[in-house]
Amino acid sequence: METGTPSSPTEAGGGPEDTEFAFGPSEPPHLLAPRPHRAWAFLKRVLIKADEDAIFFMGGAISFNVLVAFVPLLLFTVGVSGMVLSARFVDPATVVATFLEQTVPAIRGDVNLSAQVRTEISALLAQGANLTLLGAALLVWFSTRLVGTLRTALKEIFDISQTRNLVAGKIYDIEVVLVGGLLFLLNLWLTAGVRAARDYGVDLLGLEGNALSLVQSGSAHVLAFLSIWVLFLGIYRYLPARRIPWRAALIAATFTAVVHEILKGGFGWYVTSVANYRTAYGNLISLAVLFFWIYYEALGFILGGEVAQVWTMRRARKIQIREVHGGGG
C-alpha cells in the first residue's frame, strides 16, 4: 500500500550508507545549491549506488535469464492464446512477429529472428498447439526464472527489507507469468483496435504517399513506446515485495523506456549501416549484437530503478531539511 512520499531517507528505503545525507539544524540546506551542482551530485549518487548494487553482475543475471526464459514464455503465450489469436487475426504469427520487430533492434545477415519466430509460431498453430496441463505448467515454471531474477534485482535497487519466502515468491512469480500472458493478449487487441482506427482516419482524410508513410511509421513507434513503457511501469510498481510509490515507478519506467528506444535505435543503426556481414563471422555478429543489446537493456532497466530510488531519497531529504529549518525558525 502506497503511503506517499517518505519523510526521511530511512523510510524511503535508505540504509547506513545514506547517513552522509543527514542534516543538523545549523547546517545550510542544499536546496540553495546551483542547478549544475545538484545535477552533478544526483548523477554521482546514482553511479555510486549502481556500483554498490553490483549493476554489472545483476545485468548479467537478468540478461541470462531473459535468454533462458524467452522461449518458454513465448511458447506458453502462443500455446494458450493460439485459438484466441486465430479467432481475431487472420495470421496471428505475423501479429506476434510484428510485435517482436517493434521491440528488438533490426537483425541482418542470415539470422532473421522475426522470420524464424513467425515460422515456429505458424508451425505450432498449424498443429493446433493446445498445450497439455503438464506442458503449460512446465513452460510457466521455466518462465518464472526471469520474474524471480527481476524481483531480486528490484529488492536490491530499492533497498527493500521486506521479502517473500521461497514458496510465496514462486507462487507470485507464477501469477506474474499468467497475468503477463493475459496482458500480452490485451495489448495485441488494443494495438489492432488502434491500427484499425488509424486506417479509418487515413481513409477519411485521404492521406497517401509520404503523409501516409509518416502517419503509419509515427503511430507504430508511439504504440511500441507506450507498450514497453506500460510493461516497465508494471514491473517497477508491482514486482517488489513493497509497493514502490507511483511517482518513483513513473520516473523509472520513463527513464528505462527512453533508454530502450535509444539502445534499439543505436544497435539497429549498427547492424544495418556498420556491421560487415560478408565476412565469415557475419552471422556471429548478428547474434553478438542481439546478446549485447539484451545485456545493455538489462543495465538500462537497473539504472532506471537507481535513478528513481535516488530521486526518492533526495526528495525525502528535502522534506527533512524543510522540517528542520522550518522548526528552527
Give the residue among 254, 243, 60, 246 at the shortest CA–CA distance from 154: 243
Task: Give Cα separations from 210 to 68, 94, 224, 265 (angstroms).
Answer: 41, 25, 21, 22
φ/ψ (deg, to 5) at 11 = -65, -30
Of 8-17, 96-105, 108-117, minimum mean pLDDT range: 8-17
Q: For 320, how many CA atoms within 13 A lie in the half-sphere containing its CB?
A: 20
Helix (H) or strand (E) holding 255, with range, is helix 246-269
Report d(CA 189, CA 142) in Å as an integer: 26
pLDDT of residue 23: 39
- Please write the tens of the pLDDT for every residue from 129-148: 455 556 667 777 888 888 99
Q: What is the pLDDT of residue 226?
A: 87
Phi, psi of 195 (to 5 degrees): -65, -40
319 neighbors 12 (Cβ within 8 angstroms): no
36-65 as b/e: b if 16+ CB within 10 A: eeeeeeeeebbeebbeebebeebbebbbbb
Q: Please report where in the chains the cell 498443429 appears, as a residue.
A: 127
Q: Measured between alpha carbons, how far is 73 from 88 in angstroms, rounded to an integer?
A: 21
Q: How far apart are CA 20 and CA 18, in angstroms?
A: 5
| Residue 123 confidence (pLDDT) | 65
Assign 17 a pLDDT band (cuts: 50, 70, 90).
very low
Give the start-to-end residue ranges of the domains of the chain: 31-328
Cβ neighbors of 128 (< 8 A, separation 6 or more) are 82
Helices (H), 6-54: 35-52
Q: Which residues of 147-162 are buried (b: 16+ CB within 10 A; e: fewer)?
A: bbbbbbbbbbbbbbee
**What's the pLDDT tens digit per position in 164-203?**
888 888 899 888 888 877 777 676 666 666 666 666 665 6
Q: Which of 33, 109, 66 is nearest to 314 (CA)?
A: 33
- 329 pLDDT band, cuts 50/70/90, is very low
pLDDT above 90 covers a percentage of the chain that reads: 24
User: Which residues, other chains included, contact 156 with Cβ-Cβ below 8 Å and sequence gap of 6+?
Assistant: 53, 54, 58
Other C-beta atoms lying within 10 Å of the C-beta of residue 267? 21
Q: pLDDT tens digits for 203-256?
A: 666 655 566 666 666 777 787 788 889 989 999 999 998 889 999 999 999 999
Query: Is it the case that residue 108 has pLDDT exceeding 80?
Result: no
Please report which helix (H) or strand (E) contains residue 292, including its range: helix 282-328
DSSP class of 106: P
